[in-house]
Amino acid sequence: MKLYNYFRSSASFRVRIAFELKGLPYEYLPVHLVKGEHRQEAYTAVSASQLVPTLETDAGELLSQSMAIIEYLDETHPEPALLPRDALGRARVRALAQLIACEIHPLNNLRVLKYLTRELKVDEATKNTWYRHWVRDGLEKLEQELARLPAGTYCYGDTPTLADCCLVPQIFNGKRFEVDFGGLTRTMAAFDACMRHPAFQKAQPSNCPDNEA
């Protein structure tokens, strides 16, 4: 399989984690978002929506949207499972993942930050306050949700799930923008557990071939 992605893209990072958790090899195809490569013809032929990541299956099918890709990997390569076996557990894990992917991340991606600067003419400090506000607000919601679940090593239970694939990139992004993580006990305990797991280490931006840091 091939993964079109970008080292710093949170959505890309989620899928890389899933690949590493499953121990599946993949070809890493970088798409440089800051240089605008996602809008160039070579990539629009791959991704109609000009978003990363895109998974290209061995049969040549092109799949978009990180959570959908991870569920596809989980269905086609079931072990180790990234979703619980029971419908209730799956609903809980999907809800945690979507709380990050639908409530936090969309407000802070590159094209939104550009709109704030270019169209709304906000200054750097205001942009950073916006960023931190939505990450903090969303992570507080996540913390409240986690606090009502049984204790576990990771977001849900004692094995990594789709929720952890979404959590870790969000925390990485938050760290870049110096978000305050104080009081997010369950959230940061799950993050710390993930970062002790080699799959999360291997998938992180600093280990990507297109990393520029």
CB nearer its own copies, residue 76 or residue 207: 76
Residue 195 interacts with its own copies (CB under 8 A): yes or no: no
Binding residue for its own copies (CB under 8 A) from 18, 31, 69, 168? Answer: 69
Q: Which stretch binds its own copies (CB under 8 A): 26-34, 140-148, 167-175, 177-185?
A: 140-148
Give the C-alpha separation, 29 to 10, whole Å. Answer: 16
CA angle 209, 211, 212 (to 5 degrees): 135
The answer to whether 101 and 66 are in contact (CB under 8 A) is: yes
CB nearer its own copies, residue 186 or residue 197: 186
Q: Which stretch binds its own copies (CB under 8 A): 12-20, 32-40, 66-74, 197-205?
A: 66-74
Minimum distance of its own copies from residue 119's CB (angstroms):
8
Residue 50 interacts with its own copies (CB under 8 A): yes or no: yes
- Could you check whether the bond before residue 84 is cis, i.e. omega within 30 degrees of 0? no
Residue 35 interacts with its own copies (CB under 8 A): yes or no: no
End-to-end CA distance of the chain: 27
The answer to whether 31 and 5 are in contact (CB under 8 A) is: yes
Which amino acid does the sequence have at 25?
P
Binding residue for its own copies (CB under 8 A) from 29, 63, 189, 195? Answer: 63
CB nearer its own copies, residue 71 or residue 164: 71
Tokens of 73: 């990997």
